[in-house]
């Protein structure tokens, strides 16, 4: 068993089955052996997956263009600050060096106590621990993680808490008639969003991620949990905790509702391609594609192509606005 597996198994033996959010939290973020904490780098060619943040410098330059547009819309405040949540290995820092920039990650880095500007995230929300519900005959029950012959297995855990029972019931009309539905419950999303926007006195939250609106749930009757290892998707998210990434698509409709509850205004949900095209068109992509040599120019054009056509339709951008106290 993996070190995270040993920790989880001991918990289950002592107290019984555990919520999936606890399993995911230990598997990804345990301070000694969690996937994102262990010395092995999960990102890039020798890791398990690529993110847009690794498509540098073009992604950083285009995000910088978008941030300049935000700063202009705010009438160029002198203290304009960019705080990136879930900064990972800090790939955005170089591209955003013209701004006062803070990278915050799980238990690393910190945001200023108050600032105006932009809170930015790329693939943060899909990495937050979720709980899991299974719905049969219109009745939802929680799905915990138990242990059987030293293997982690799903275990029914009883009725959902009222908040999540309501959440599941509100989404049920969006599915076709299915004998069984699996649904992730975004139990950490609200508090993470709160923490991200609490210090922001005025400005925007720009979150890039993959996910679904409530109306798109019809495509995911088995839920969206997925693991990644060595650039391959693995359906069994309970395998070898700590050694493979675990993600859940982001429920954008719920994210927008949580944002409105925080007093934020929600903008249209764009594809990453739409967002990057808008960011780049101000100078016809001149700053994003500026290069000293022809091979470098070709490399940057390929990067732009992979951002627009490879990731551009899969990922979406949520823009939230906080106008501040009047």
Ligand X SMILES: C[S@@+](CC[C@H](N)C(=O)[O-])C[C@H]1O[C@@H](n2cnc3c(N)ncnc32)[C@H](O)[C@@H]1O
CB of 281 to ligand X, least distance (A): 23
Q: Tell me the two tokens of residue 134.
A: 């299974």
Q: How far is the CB of 181 from ligand X (least distance, A)?
A: 26
Half-sphere exposure of 88 (CA within 13 A, CB side): 20
Could you give the angle at the alpha carbon of 285 between the alpha carbons of 76 and 66, nearest 5°? 30
Q: Which long-range contacts (CB under 8 A, 24 or more apart) does 198-202 make?
A: 199/83, 199/111, 199/112, 199/113, 199/114, 199/115, 200/83, 200/115, 200/116, 200/117, 200/119, 200/322, 201/114, 201/115, 201/116, 201/322, 201/324, 201/325, 202/74, 202/77, 202/116, 202/322, 202/323, 202/324
Enumerate binding residues for ligand X (CB under 6 A). 36, 43, 51, 53, 85-88, 91, 104-106, 122-124, 127-128, 192
- Beta carbon nearer to ligand X, 2 or 51: 51
Give the nearest distance from C-beta 103 to ligand X in angstroms: 9
Between 83 and 140, whose beta carbon lies closer to ligand X?
83
Closest distance to ligand X from the beta carbon of 23 (Å): 15
In angstroms, give the least distance from the CB of 28 to ligand X.
7
Residue 167 CB, nearest distance to ligand X (Å)? 20
Assigned token pair, 266: 């929600």
Are 81 and 117 in contact, with CB atoms under 8 Å apart?
yes
Identity of the residue, 116 or 123, whose beta carbon is nearer to ligand X in the bound complex: 123
Q: Which is nearer to ligand X, 83 or 304 (CB)?
A: 83
- Nearer of residues 3 and 44 to ligand X, judged by Cβ: 44
Of the pair 104, 272, the CB lying nearest ligand X is at 104
Task: Decide whether 120 or 220 has the Cβ nearer to ligand X.
Answer: 120
C-alpha gyration radius of the chain: 21
Q: Least separation, in Å, of the C-beta of 129 and ligand X?
A: 8
**Distance in Å, CB of 168 to ligand X, minimum:** 24
CA angle 285, 78, 202 (to 5 degrees): 85
Q: Which two tokens stand for residue 288?
A: 């994003």
Nearer to ligand X by C-beta: 248 or 308? 248
Alpha-carbon torsion 185, 190, 192, 197, what sign? Answer: positive
């Amino acid at each position: 068993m993996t070190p995270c597996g040993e920790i989880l198994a001991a918990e289950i033996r002592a107290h019984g089955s555990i919520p999936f959010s606890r399993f995911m939290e230990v598997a990804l973020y345990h301070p000694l052996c969690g996937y994102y904490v262990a010395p092995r780098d999960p990102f890039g060619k020798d890791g398990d997956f690529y993110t847009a943040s690794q498509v540098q410098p073009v992604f950083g330059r285009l995000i910088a263009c978008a941030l300049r547009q935000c700063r202009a819309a705010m009438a160029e405040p002198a203290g304009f600050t960019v705080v990136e949540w879930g900064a990972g290995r800090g790939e955005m820092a170089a591209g955003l060096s013209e701004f006062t920039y803070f990278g915050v990650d799980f238990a690393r880095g910190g945001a200023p106590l108050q600032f105006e500007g932009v809170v930015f995230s790329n693939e943060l929300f899909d990495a937050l621990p979720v709980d899991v519900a299974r719905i049969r005959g219109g009745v939802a029950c929680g799905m915990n993680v138990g242990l059987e012959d030293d293997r982690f297995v799903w275990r029914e855990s009883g009725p959902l808490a009222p908040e999540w029972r309501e959440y599941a019931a509100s989404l049920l009309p969006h599915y076709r008639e299915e004998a069984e539905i699996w649904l992730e419950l975004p139990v950490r999303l609200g508090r993470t969003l709160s923490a991200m926007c609490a210090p922001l006195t005025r400005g925007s939250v720009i979150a890039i991620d993959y996910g679904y609106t409530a109306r798109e749930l019809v495509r995911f009757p088995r839920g969206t949990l997925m693991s990644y290892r060595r650039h391959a998707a693995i359906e069994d998210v309970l395998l070898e905790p700590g050694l493979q990434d675990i993600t859940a698509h982001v429920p954008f409709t719920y994210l927008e509702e949580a944002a409105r509850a925080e007093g934020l205004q929600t903008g249209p949900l764009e594809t990453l391609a739409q967002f990057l095209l808008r960011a780049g068109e101000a100078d016809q992509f001149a700053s994003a594609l500026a290069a000293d040599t022809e091979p470098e120019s070709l490399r940057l054009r390929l990067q732009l192509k992979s951002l627009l056509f490879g990731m551009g339709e899969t990922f979406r951008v949520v823009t939230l606005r906080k106008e501040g106290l009047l």
